[in-house]
Amino acid sequence: MRWTISARPWPCTSPIPGRPPRPKSTASRLRLAPLERLPYREVARKLRAAGFTEAGQRGSHVKFVKRGDSGGVRTAIVPRHREVAVGTLRSVLRQAGLDAEEFDRL
């Protein structure tokens, strides 16, 4: 399929006349719950509360595994640092299949 301006599923804008339009931001970052840096121990505790078990370690990174009812496996890799940065924490949550609100409640 060839893309044309009218085929785009989002509204487009261009700051300069004559320049091709660019997509507007979907602002998906604004919909995420605010997270803050957390100590590794707190992240590990919350993952264990969510049903994950520690499966191994390679260097400073720890692997947490959760086996699903249907036989699937979910793996989350967490760096064993004093504090886990916000971007890294978002990545861990994505790997674990958790959202920020659910993680905060654990």
For 22-26, 50-54, 80-84, 87-91, which range has the lowest pLDDT when averaged over its residues? 22-26
Confidence at residue 70, expressed as pLDDT on a 0 to 100 scale: 86
Taking only the tens place, the pLDDT of each residue in 8-42 is: 555 556 566 666 666 665 555 445 567 899 999 99
Answer with the residue of higher pLDDT: 3 or 94.
Answer: 94
Confidence category of residue 83, pLDDT binned at 50, 70, 90: very high
Please state, in angstroms and rounded to a whole number, the distance separating the CA atoms of residues 48 and 19: 51
Please state, in angstroms and rounded to a whole number, the distance separating the CA atoms of residues 60 and 43: 14
> Where do the structural domains in the chain lie, given as residue ranges?
34-105
Confidence category of residue 71, pLDDT binned at 50, 70, 90: confident
Taking only the tens place, the pLDDT of each residue in 90-103 is: 999 999 999 999 99
Kindly report the pTM of this predicted structure. 0.68
CATH 3.30.920.30 assigned to domain 34-105? The reply is: yes
| CB distance 79 to 41 below 8 Å | no
Specify the DSSP class assigned to residue 7. G
